Chains A and B, each alone.
Chain A
Amino acid sequence: MSVKILGKSEGFYDTYERRPGSNKEQTHYCPGCGHGILHKMIAEALTDYEVAENCIFVSPVGCSVFAYYYFNAGNIQSAHGRAPAVATGVKRALPESIVISYQGDGDLAAIGGNEILHAANRGEAMTVFFVNNAIYGMTGGQMAPTTLIGQKTTTTPYGRTLQNEGYPIRMAEIIASLESPVYVERVMMADVRSKNAARKAVRRGIKNQIEKKGFSFIEVLSTCPTGWKMTAPQSEEWIKSTLMQNFPLGVFKDIAQQVEPLDLSQNLATPARVPKLIGLDQDKVKFDPASMKLNETIDQEIKIAGFGGQGVLSLGVWLSEIGMREDLEVSWIPSYGPEMRGGTANCHVKLSREAIGSPLVTHPTVLVAMNRPSLEKFEDDVIEGGAILWDSSLIDIEPKREDITRIPIPATEIAKELGNTKTSNVVILGVLAGYSDFLDPMVVQQVLPLIFKKRHLLEINLKAFQKGLELGRQLSA
């Protein structure tokens, strides 16, 4: 059960050393199988175009899984149906290589339907050979998506029916309906004439890739005498009499001559350039350590809560950024879960002189409440002697607790007077800096330009900070 490929080209190995057993001269394909002929056409084309050494051949599961026994190319064997995805990873890494995805009908049209569709739709610059013999050859003659109505297989012993399995799928037509592919043709392996046409299609598919034209797809109606339980001549006859009637031959799409070659050039950054390119080259603002107020008593666990859009999460990030620049250990974590999408938000900030264990704040030293539900929800959690800051212009109640420092801030009102209610969180930041001993106003003013890159936003937020700072100082006095 093996076929010798006569007149071997450079595209094949001289002997098939990877093939198990003693026969290193012949392929594993059955007599009369179309794979051997198609292999030969591909190898010849690779040799003639002098790209055999640049070829990377991806062979997934099916009879052609052992294509790597034969092709003198870089060989990658892949999972069932996944060759177009694997080939995508290869081609994107090596755009100068010639990447071939060689797939059977079960592989491409059933289990790998998604992979082929999207590789084609992206217009990956590869060549796909799709061997359609209307049956699963390797696994024992089961139904393929291309099996004809009435055709008997080991899984359609009474013949494929419309009711149970539906119509055979015509992949070339489907692929041709997409915008990206440049060349889609269906050929067959029957008589000499049809094989000549097939040879031309194979060459065109590979040439397109050499010319960087994009995605080419060649469907090959191929014989499977073993699966069909026919002789080789009967098989060729059956392709012509029956298979071809269901899968019409022809060019379904060809725009290779009209399209410009793809720009597949790569511009990989050297490692040395990477930090700059991804914004890690330097600290954008230099801090004068002498200006920092490193307070020995700092250890804060802060919870900030309010409506989404009030800048609750941002205020937490800024506090952490400032803490980091005061050489503290810091952590920030947003409320995490469905409430994130439900309109209210909160975040947990820790500022500490020592390594932070859990980033969660269950008992805050400081609660910033920017709406009423947040005040009601978290008031009881604040530690004895802690502080509650609340936006008194939005919240019509006051904290009940007397064992904490109470800091009402008309933050939204102040922000409105400044002309932008969105600055209310910066007003609160200012109050925290003016009131408390854990935020150094100097550092805050250095951090704000990092946050507000646009000048008009920076100006208004610096004003908001100043207002808050003054208020905080008044309150603490």
Chain B
Amino acid sequence: MAKQFVKGNEAIVKGAILAGCRAYYGYPITPASEIAHAAAQYMPLVGGTFLQAESEIAAINMVYGAAGTGIRAMTASSSPGFSLKQEGMSYLAGAELPCVVVDITRGGPGLGNIAPEQSDYHQVVKGGGHGNYKNIVVAPNSAQEMCDLTMLAFDLADKYRNPAVVLADGFIGQMMEPVDFPEPVEEFAEKKWAIRGVDGDRMNLISSIELDPDDLERHNQKLQRKYEIMVNNETRFEEYRLDDADFIVVGYGIVSRMVHTAVDQLRIEGVKVGMLRPITLMPYPSKRIAELAAMDHVKAFSVIELSNGQMVDDVRLAVNGAKPVEFYGRMGGNVPSIKELVHEIKRMMRVI
């Protein structure tokens, strides 16, 4: 199919439609609005639904209803909007409804600003709403991946009957790059649990209530088993120049693009540094990080984030004290320059 030069935010919508999504419910917010614009443009062309909801809360609940009928449905927002959707996320996870939610993270807390941050890691990856649940989380770092990982998110959501979040930031959303769009998904697994308003599914129930403590505990245990299976089967990450690296920088999303360049520059200087990029943030590549931490040539890690240090918690848990784990972060929508990253990586390497 055609290679197109598109914005990351538009790649999400085209990818979603190729993945069979036919319902988009959303509320405008910078810097995620282009997703709604593109959905408003393309959904009607394929006979799908685009509806601008009265609120983020209504939007996620419309997705809940649509997902309950078995169709592929999505919404998208940015940080403050995602906070509002948390109620719905918990219900979706509890009722085991598949859907895709995009979060184009902006600066916070509060109204913050519209510049890129990665400060939603905790609220997206750790659940965020009430209860013992997790979202599937994918973290694209290019316009191509905005398409590909959105499509993957729909597949994983269906496979595990779980909400999936595409966690990106304003940079990847606004950036334009060539995207090689794949062929549309033609076949979908049957959703026997869905409610289609026909005789055959009248005994089906979409619900997150379990009044009996034992029943609810069993339900929670089932969810936890599901997350364990995801860890074993769905963890995705990218490694760059790790074979002989003394020092491993961990970064996801837009940061990984910058670290990639910084690693190249440091390698020219003979510094043995490499990068690990988690592509799925839930499930997290903890096992791989632990393996790397056990290797003799690996002396230390650092985590670089556009936040106060949220993902670094997961790296520290995975490394489990085997090697030092340093951190460098920028906040407020500031993005480090390559020069700054090179400098900071060298500084952090002094722990070796």
Contacts and interface: CB of A to CB of B under 8 A. Distances in A.
Interface of A: 18, 20, 53-56, 58, 65-66, 68, 72-79, 82, 85-94, 96-98, 114-115, 117-118, 266-269, 271-275, 277-284, 317, 320-321, 324, 330-334, 336-338, 355-360, 362
B195 A115 contact: no
Contacts, number: 234
A-B complex: 4 closest residue pairs judged by Cβ atoms: A89-B65, A97-B197, A357-B261, A74-B195
Given A55-B197, A94-B196, A358-B260, A89 B46 contact: no
Given A92-B23, A274-B184, A269 B51 contact: no
B58 A85 contact: yes
Per DSSP, are chain B's interface residues mostly helix, strand or loop, or mixed?
mixed
Contact of B65 (A73, A88, A360): A88
8 contacts: A74-B202, A75-B206, A76-B195, A77-B207, A85-B61, A89-B65, A115-B54, A336-B174
B68 A281 contact: no
Interface stretch (B217-225, B282-290, B331-339): B331-339
B54 A114 contact: yes
A271 B20 contact: yes
Interface string B268-310: 0000000000000000000000000000000000000000000
Contact of A274 (B18, B31, B201, B338): B18
The secondary structure that dominates the A interface is mixed
B205 A68 contact: yes
B126 to A, nearest CB: 20
B177 A330 contact: yes
Interface stretch (B117-125, B208-216, B318-326): B208-216
B54 A92 contact: no
B174 A53 contact: no
B176 A333 contact: yes
Contacts of B76: none
Contact of A53 (B51, B199, B262): B199
B207 to A, nearest CB: 4
A358 B65 contact: no
A359 B254 CA distance: 9
Nearest to A330: B178
B197 A268 contact: no
A436 B202 CA distance: 69
B337 A280 contact: no
A358 B197 contact: no
Contact of A359 (B175, B195, B259, B264): B175
A331 B186 contact: no
B62 interface: yes
Contacts of B95: 77
A359 B64 contact: no
Contact of A332 (B17, B53, B176, B337): B176
Given A114-B58, A280-B4, A336-B116, A74 B175 contact: no
Given A82-B88, A85-B64, A278-B17, 6 more contacts: A89-B23, A89-B67, A90-B68, A333-B175, A336-B171, A357-B338
A179 to B, nearest CB: 16
Given A90-B65, A93-B49, A357 B174 contact: no
A273 B186 CA distance: 11
A336 B185 CA distance: 34
Nearest to A76: B206
A66 B212 CA distance: 14
Contacts of A275: 1, 18, 181, 183-184
A73 B51 CA distance: 26
Contacts of B339: 362
B335 A360 contact: yes
B14 interface: yes
B2 interface: yes
B202 A72 contact: yes
B46 A269 contact: yes
Contacts of A279: 4
Contact of B68 (A76, A115, A268, A284): A76
Contacts of B83: none
B66 to A, nearest CB: 4
Nearest to A51: B197
A93 B69 contact: yes
Interface in B61-80: 61-69, 71, 73
B64 A330 contact: no
B157 interface: no
Nearest to A55: B197
Given A89-B61, A268-B22, A337-B333, A74 B197 contact: yes
B279 to A, nearest CB: 16
B266 interface: no
Contact of B196 (A74, A86, A272): A74
A96 B197 CA distance: 8
Contacts of B209: 65-66, 77
A271 B258 contact: no
A92 B51 contact: yes
A180 to B, nearest CB: 14
